[in-house]
Chains A and B, each alone.
Chain A
Amino acid sequence: MTLIIKPKSEFEVCVEAEITPEIARNLEDAKNFKVYLGKEERRLEELFDLEFVDDREEKVILKGDFSRVKWIGREMKGGEIIVEGNVGMHLGAFMEGGRIVVKGNCDDWVGGMMKGGEIVVEGDTGNRVGCNYWGESEGMKGGRIVIKGNAGNYIGEKMVDGEIVVEGNAGDFVGSEMKGGKIVVRGKAGYTGWDMKGGVIEVGECELSPSFVKDAEGVWRGDVNVKGEGVVRILQD
């Protein structure tokens, strides 16, 4: 089934709503799904209008302003979420499968520690896309994040596997302490490759860490400071 969710009002404080396509399976469960308005526990239908379309999908459509709604798609394993506007922090954190499409912009922490599935953002995102949460030693471990606009600082920190594609520009610290996987920034990026241990970065133009060495094929390898075997290809070199 498809579940269409619309906020009943503007939210004065942030809402934490770990909405996944699984909740579209049953109307009663969806109505009673636990969410938090600040520190108060609420049922989903208290804060949002819910509409069900009886089809063969497992799908959630978010309509309206979700820019203060956090943790959408957390740990989601399958199905699809379509966000028609903007969305708040931690979209698709720990995601394992399925697909999230955002027609607007995202806040920070898109796909934090994601393991699988796909996130497509048609607008821009904030900082820390596909990163590790504070204190964790590994960031994104699989799946794919595509950002059609621009991304903020810290893209793919401590990334282990998977792929992040930014069609526009990115900020500072792309692929810091990256261990594997691939990051593509088609436009410009700031500081790139700091303490990179492995994986591949392709970037239009960037401020590469000085501790990289150019090989015979014109590919930069490093970060030598950490005996890294990362590869950076600067497309406009």
Chain B
Amino acid sequence: MSVIYIKGGIVVDPTQGIDGEIMDIFVKDGKIVEESGAGKADTVIDAKGMTVVAGGIDIHAHIAGPKINAGRAMRPEDMKYARNKSGPLRCAMGRVLMTCPAIGYEYARMGYTTAIEPATPALYAIHTHEELDSIPMVDKAVLPLFGNWHLTFKFAAEGDIEKMKAFIAWAIERSKGFGVKVVNPGGVEAWKYGRNVHSLDERIPGFEATPAEVLSTLIKASIELNLPHKVHVHCNNLGVPGSAETTAETIKLAEKIGASKDGRESLHITHIQFNAYTGEKWRDMGSGAEELSKLVNRTPVTVDMGQPIFGHTTTMTADGPFEFALHKLFKSKWINKDVEIETGGGIVPITYRAKSPVNAVQWATGLEFGLLVDADKVVISTDYPNGGPFVEYPYIMTLLMSRKFREKEIEEKGVNSYIEKATSLPSLDVERTFYEIVKMTRSTPAKILGLENKGTLKVGADADITIYPFDCRNVSPEDYEVLLKGLRSVAYTIKDGEIVVKDGEIAKEVWGRTFWVNAVKGATQEIIEEDLNEVFRYYTVSRGNYGVREEWIRRPETIAIEE
């Protein structure tokens, strides 16, 4: 490994309160070090006039696993776009859905160095890890799905936090996962009977538990287990008018339980935009972002935006009943999947149109969250690929930083004027500072994930660094074009202390680590032995063959939780 000096850059690092100071950064053996400990430089980067920040972190992007893979097979028309077809790099294809190499290269070219795959059935984790191992350039982790697992329902119904802890620890160890993902708790199970659940207090078919009980026990167990990342939820009633109310009730569950032991939030509401609509019918649908943002700001809850991007994309979620509704609405192709006693899923292609009042409200609602929630609590995301391609993060950052750019987009794209009535976006004069944007893409996701060596330029941190080709102190919201161009094409991306992108092009292909959490010491495993043996009578795999061994992963890194 080599020593890199980054000389004279304008540094922004919210974890140290540094906002645009000219500083030198020293990198050695993949870490950020003191000048005195760096030794002789192998490479000196003259960063004069450029902005130096930590590498970006995507907290929620469906980049690997059975869903995106089925989506690729379902949409060959989306896969024929070539992003790279020659040279020493591998072929990179795909318009919105991308191949594994394309995902890695595009993250790196955007200055992102970590990405979290947020929804995999534990049963299929072996496939997900194979795919994560095929994504170059970034560190990654995967969240297994708990919200519709029969054992979750059982322990929730019994209100047995100890068993839930043991079960969570067992499942994330077996799947080499990172935390607890919940999608429409109870709703995916109900979908197996052609139904859905519509409120947090409705009984889940076949079980004595309710979605509220599922969420509460999972949150409490995650707090007690000291998981670095607490419960990551896709709320009930996603994507329909009135969903804002369900989201508010979900947030209040976490409020009642309280924060984590270390003071961090105890619940992450993902792609909140998709779950934030008021009204009763599509015709009177509106944005609940203003109220929900206030609620998020005062409760132990964090969110990511789930910003839609106008254009084609493919939705894919474990939320089977929601995908069926989309399929009926758009009459487009549809894949439905039932994952034994764990979960399910669906895939449907869609197009977000600026002129559609519903899509326009979704677009505005996502931005409202990005503008109204504290920068310490909201992360930029598109819920890739559900809202659109992650390569549009620079576009979202620019929209959040410039009201003039928002107005131009509304005008030029012909965004339906219904947003004036149904959302607060047109009247919002909030403009995010560059410092806040760095929070929303670096330090905030690192904090939510509990990754202490990420999203920061502190001595000792991983040397994952983005160098933007502009001086962040000099770009004003008026110059949104300069901003957009600079954010889209980074001068350098440094991953684990190596220059992997130079002037927007991949300079070197590298392989990141896969983080997984081992919390088995935090719970008494024996108490769920019988329950596990019982459910494995109904699995297609035996218990001995269930799960992923660490040695099957390219570069595993265990985060061990000691009790």
Interface, chain A (partner B; CB < 8 A):
36, 39-41, 133-136
Contact = CB atoms under 8 A, between A and B. Distances in A.
A39 B85 contact: yes
A39 B76 contact: no
A40 B87 CA distance: 6
Interface string B77-93: 11110000111000100
Contacts, number: 23
A39 B85 CA distance: 6
Given A36-B86, A133-B76, A135-B74, 14 more contacts: A36-B85, A39-B85, A39-B91, A40-B86, A40-B87, A133-B77, A133-B80, A134-B77, A134-B80, A135-B75, A135-B76, A135-B77, A135-B78, A135-B79
Nearest to A137: B77
Nearest to A36: B86
23 contacts: A36-B85, A36-B86, A39-B85, A39-B86, A39-B87, A39-B91, A40-B86, A40-B87, A41-B86, A41-B87, A133-B76, A133-B77, A133-B80, A134-B76, A134-B77, A134-B80, A135-B74, A135-B75, A135-B76, A135-B77, A135-B78, A135-B79, A136-B77
A142 B276 CA distance: 45
Interface in B386-424: none
Contacts of B91: 39
Contacts of A136: 77
Nearest to B80: A133
Closest 7 CB pairs of A and B: A135-B77, A134-B76, A135-B76, A41-B86, A136-B77, A39-B86, A135-B75
Interface in B86-126: 86-87, 91
A227 B192 CA distance: 32
Interface of B: 74-80, 85-87, 91
Nearest to A42: B86
Contacts of B77: 133-136
Contacts of A133: 76-77, 80
A13 B76 CA distance: 24
A41 B82 CA distance: 14
Contacts of B80: 133-134
Contacts of B87: 39-41
Nearest to A132: B77
Nearest to B75: A135
B501 to A, nearest CB: 20
A69 to B, nearest CB: 16
Contacts of B85: 36, 39
Nearest to B332: A137
Contacts of A134: 76-77, 80
A41 B75 CA distance: 27
Nearest to A34: B86
A136 B76 CA distance: 8
A41 B88 CA distance: 11
A42 to B, nearest CB: 9
B470 to A, nearest CB: 30
A36 B91 CA distance: 13
B88 to A, nearest CB: 9
A27 to B, nearest CB: 24
Nearest to B349: A135
Chain A CB within 10 Å — which of B78, B79, B86 has the most?
B86
A41 B77 CA distance: 24
A14 to B, nearest CB: 13
A136 B81 CA distance: 13
A41 B85 CA distance: 8
Contacts of A135: 74-79
A36 B74 CA distance: 28
Contacts of B86: 36, 39-41
Contacts of B76: 133-135
A122 B547 CA distance: 59
